[in-house]
Amino acid sequence: MAEKVAEQITRVAAIDCGTNSIRLLIADIDREAGTLTDLERTMHVVRLGQGVDRTGRLDPEALARTFERSREYAAKIAELGATRVRFVATSATRDASNRDEFFSGIREILGVTPEVVSGDEEAYLSFRGATGVFGGQFPAPYLVVDLGGGSTELVLGTDRPQAAKSMDVGCVRMTERHLRSDPPTPAEIEAARADIRRALDEAAEIVPLGQTATLVGLAGSITTVTAHALGLAAYDRDRINGATLSVDDVLASAADLLARDRAQRAELGFMHPGRIDVIGAGALVWSEVVARVRDEVAAQGRELGPILTSEHDILDGIAWSLVE
């Protein structure tokens, strides 16, 4: 019996390297039971996308930071004995002219070739990771929003995506492009807001936002806004995962974070040090998405219900993809 159980469980390692952070998940997946059990889940801010929007190249210091963390991840993967590894890179490496340097470095360290996934694939992985743990608890269709450093994915679906759009707005990109003052000036905020709204206009032509029954937010900017809305003294993954907030709660939390300067954000006990300078832009993007979905749902004669925050995201989707 024990041998049969061992056969159906696969130990996998998933790495998600985004514009702002690199994350590792090592997990045991039981294919028959449909369960994913964490053995290691960690995140480090490496800011791989530093300056890419301006220069079109990956910065040497950003590459060095990413390679250093990748070596640590390789050691942990070896220690825990994961048999399948997938490394997914997103927006920053899509845009970089020197991405071959990044590819060869990761291949040497981890023995796998990074995959620069398309926006559609990124959206699917986020959706799979986020909704795989709902168990019918929340009504569908789900609109899953994965807010990253360089891009934001919108995915609408039930058991799988039905419509998706990747928008070129994220916390790092909007900070570098618009929010340069501390705190941001009203003019900078309005310029960023206009950028986000243009992206949402394009997204709404592809993703019917008004069909949303449950709005689900993923990734560090959104979990940080949620931690602030919950009044947490320190980051608590268990309290944030599955938390439901009203539209007004989300908008108020986001507005407060955007209005603070860096020193005031740094004083918040739940704030990751690597997110202090970009959370204002992340909060702005999330507030614009929430307000737009609220309005689109209202136009359909309904009221948007509570907004769900999930700690399960593209990282979990990458892990699932290794056995599917």
pLDDT surpasses 90 at 118: no
Q: How big is the chain, counted in residues?
A: 324
pLDDT surpasses 90 at 52: no
**Percent of the chain whose predicted confidence (pLDDT) is above 90:** 68
Q: Is residue 321 part of a domain?
A: no
Residues 271 and 147 in one domain: yes
Residues 257 and 186 in one domain: yes
Which pLDDT value is given to residue 219? 86
Q: Write down which residue in 67, 89, 116 finishes a domain.
A: 116
Residues 168 and 81 in one domain: no
Residues 155 and 103 in one domain: no
Residues 152 and 254 in one domain: yes
Residues 180 and 292 in one domain: yes
3-state secondary structure of 107: helix
Contact 162, 206 (CB under 8 A): no
The two tokens of residue 301 are 């004669």
What confidence category does residue 4 fall into, taking pLDDT thresholds of 50, 70 and 90? very low
| Helix or strand (DSSP H, E) at 18 | none
Rounded Cα distance, 39 and 80, in Å:
8
Cα–Cα distances (Å) from 48 to 17, 20, 73, 170, 214, in that order, read 8, 6, 16, 14, 32
Residues 233 and 263 in one domain: yes
The pLDDT of 100-110, averaged and rounded, is 95
Contact 311, 237 (CB under 8 A): yes
pLDDT surpasses 80 at 234: yes
Rounded Cα distance, 242 and 265, in Å:
24
Which pLDDT value is given to residue 3? 47
Residues 260 and 139 in one domain: yes
Domain that holds residue 199: 133-314
Q: Is residue 230 part of a domain?
A: yes
Q: Write down which residue in 73, 89, 116 finishes a domain.
A: 116
Q: Is residue 322 part of a domain?
A: no
Which pLDDT value is given to residue 35? 84
The CATH number given to whatever domain includes residue 177 is 3.30.420.150
Rounded Cα distance, 55 and 191, in Å:
21
pLDDT surpasses 70 at 33: yes
Higher-pLDDT residue of 58, 109: 109
Residues 141 and 270 in one domain: yes
Backbone angles phi and psi of 16, in degrees to 5? -115, 115
Residues 54 and 142 in one domain: no
Q: Is residue 127 part of a domain?
A: no
Q: Which residues neighbour 310 within 8 Å (Cβ) at sequence distance 6 or greater?
A: 130, 133, 216, 217, 218, 241, 242
Which pLDDT value is given to residue 91? 64
* pTM of the entire predicted model: 0.76
pLDDT surpasses 90 at 295: yes
Residues 78 and 190 in one domain: no
What confidence category does residue 47 fall into, taking pLDDT thresholds of 50, 70 and 90? confident
Residues 140 and 101 in one domain: no
The two tokens of residue 187 are 């003019």
- Bin 316: left if φ > 0, else alpha if -120 < ψ < 50, else beta: alpha
Which pLDDT value is given to residue 217? 94
242 Cα distance to chain centroid: 15
Nearest to 258, CA basis, from 277, 242, 239: 277
Q: State the chain's mean pLDDT as an integer.
A: 91
Of 6-10, 268-272, 285-289, the one with minimum mean pLDDT is 6-10
Q: Is residue 199 part of a domain?
A: yes
The two tokens of residue 206 are 């592809």
Which pLDDT value is given to residue 306? 86
The pLDDT of 186-196, averaged and rounded, is 96
Q: Is residue 323 part of a domain?
A: no
The CATH number given to whatever domain includes residue 45 is 3.30.420.40
Its sign, for the CA torsion 237, 241, 246, 247, is positive
Number of domain units in the chain: 2
Q: Is residue 128 part of a domain?
A: no
In which residue are the tokens 């560090």 written?
Answer: 220
Q: Is residue 121 part of a domain?
A: no
Q: Write down which residue in 59, 88, 116 finishes a domain.
A: 116
What string of H, E and C letters represents the secondary structure of 204-267?
Answer: HCCCCHHHCCEEEEECHHHHHHHHHHHCCCCCCHHHHCCCEECHHHHHHHHHHHHHCCHHHHHC
